Amino acid sequence: MSVTFDNALLESEERRTLRASVAALGRRFGREYFTTAVREGRQTDELWQEAAKLGYLGVNLPEEYGGGGAGLSELAIVLEELGATGCPLLLLVVSPAICGTVIARFGTEEQKRRWLPGLADGTRRMAFGITEPDAGSNSHRITTTARRDGDTWVLTGRKVFVSGVDIADATLIVGRTEDARTGRLKPCLFVVERETPGFEFRHIPMELTAPEKQFQLFLDDVRLPADALVGDEDAGLLQLFAGLNPERVMTAAFSLGMGRYALQVAVEYARVRQVWKAPIGAHQAIAHPLAQARIDLELAGLMTRKAAFLYDAGDDMAAGEAANMAKYAAAEAGARAVDQAVHTLGGNGLTTEYGLASLLTASRVGRIAPVSREMILNFVCHHTLGLPRSY
């Protein structure tokens, strides 16, 4: 009998079928489709729509709002498997994972009805803006501020490195409001529709082979209706972390997929490339690092599934630590796998034809975003090990 219970170690039959089905869809499109879209400045919309039609984009969202009724575990599977075929959908990290989750957990009934069905079936997309030019990874220094003006909110600030703003119907903006009681600033989440007056976005050219572009945002007295505020004004921090943990898990899934894709290209190459008697994959100097890459990816995958499992089980605290560790481990494993894959192919690893070289920059993203690996190490130092803080 095959094992059919859901846990982080052994995936259920449904999850394995989901993996296989998403992988089959990804293979039909393949890396060539992805790189062609990037070269032509197009989005990978055909893949997005096909995945949407099959219900893969909204697997984590509640069934009553058109989602699959499953969890982050399933959504991470979708992203990882698409990535492993060379065509990841980056907006899965933000649209259903962060924005969908936050609205589903904390949004008003009206907000849920308004956004979730579209996010679930892929007809609408939502970007996520948190990073600021002067705050970097320090989310306590966020200066984008919302003030009340009668029945409306007025939002002002700057954001940087926000993915896919041009193709998103709205962006979920992390801002701060003044606590009426203490006067301290506390985080708040606002849905800002793309065409709102005062909301401007500027493309940041990046050396990443990705169809989704990066943007800088300028919010100058952006006037928002009262219901642009998601959920509870007083529970902003909790809500924010409810969205950031899925982001880390999905970033891990993104790194894992990319690492697996690169490793597979390298292994196929090492199997047939022959310059002396045996294929180069028979030489341990080539083979062992590939085996190590595989082990690292497998371990990081296990941690990612643990983080998703804890999150789906409702343990936000434990999920936070696990999601940070998973993001760290997967980013390192992914970057090392890409590095080793490029090296395995030698000169061919740097050609456009083999398409691995552009992954060298892309695989660094996981080390830097959504928080740098050093900030994760800091988190583990303070939170897990109980070491004193330096900042």
Partner 1 sequence: MSLRIVVCVKYVPDATGDRHFAEDLTTDRDAVDGLLSELDEYAVEQALQIADAADDAEITVLTVGPEDAKDALRKALSMGADKGVHVEDDDLHGTDVVGTSLVLAKAVEHVGYDLVLCGMASTDGTMGVLPAILAERLGVPQVTLLSEVAVADGTVTGRRDGDAASEQLQAQLPAVVSVTDQSGEARYPSFKGIMAAKKKPVESLDLSDLGIDADEVGLGGAWTKVEDAAKRPERTAGTIVKDEGEGGKQLAEFLVSQKFI
Q: How far is CA 301 from CA 78, 91, 267, 325, in A?
A: 13, 20, 19, 11
Nearer to partner 1 by Cβ, of 4 and 352: the residue is 4
Nearer to partner 1 by Cβ, of 1 and 285: the residue is 1
Nearer to partner 1 by Cβ, of 57 and 256: the residue is 57
Least separation, in Å, of the C-beta of 248 and partner 1?
23
What is the rounded distance in angstroms from the CA atom of residue 49 to the CA atom of residue 46? 5
What is the rounded distance in angstroms from the CA atom of residue 204 to the CA atom of residue 368? 16
Nearer to partner 1 by Cβ, of 116 and 210: the residue is 116
List the x/- string, 15-34, binding to partner 1 by CB under 8 A.
--xx--x--xx---------
Contact (CB, 8 A) for 126 and 94: yes
Q: How far is CA 386 from CA 140, 381, 382, 383, 389, in A?
A: 20, 6, 5, 6, 9
Least separation, in Å, of the C-beta of 17 and partner 1?
5
Nearer to partner 1 by Cβ, of 11 and 296: the residue is 11
Query: Phi, psi at residue 203, to the nearest 5°?
Result: -65, 130
Nearer to partner 1 by Cβ, of 73 and 139: the residue is 73
Contact (CB, 8 A) for 344 and 288: no
Per DSSP, helices labelled H in the chain are 13-39, 45-53, 72-84, 91-92, 101-106, 109-121, 236-272, 284-312, 316-344, 357-362, 365-368, 373-379
Nearer to partner 1 by Cβ, of 174 and 250: the residue is 250
Report the interhelical angle of 72-84 vs 45-53 (nearest 10°). Answer: 140
Nearer to partner 1 by Cβ, of 55 and 117: the residue is 55
Indicate the Cα dihedral angle 258, 87, 209, 303, nearest 10°. -30
List the x/- string, 151-170, binding to partner 1 by CB under 8 A.
--------------------
What is the rounded distance in angstroms from the CA atom of residue 42 to the CA atom of residue 211? 6
- Residues 49-68 binding partner 1 (CB under 8 A) are 53-56, 59, 68
> Applying CB under 8 A, does 72 fall inside the site for partner 1?
no
Cβ-based neighbour number of residue 190 at 10 Å: 22
Among residues 37, 47, 70, 371, the one that binds partner 1 under rule CB under 8 A: 70
Q: Following DSSP, what letter does each residue of 296-354 receive, concatenated?
A: HHHHHHHHHHHHHHHHHTT-HHHHHHHHHHHHHHHHHHHHHHHHHHHHHTGGGGGSTTT
The site that binds partner 1 (CB under 8 A) totals a number of residues, namely: 18
List the x/- string, 213-242, binding to partner 1 by CB under 8 A.
------------------------------
Among residues 9, 10, 14, 45, the one that binds partner 1 under rule CB under 8 A: 14
Least separation, in Å, of the C-beta of 15 and partner 1?
9
Question: Which residues of this protein are in contact with partner 1, per CB under 8 A?
Answer: 1-2, 13-14, 17-18, 21, 24-25, 53-56, 59, 68-70, 74
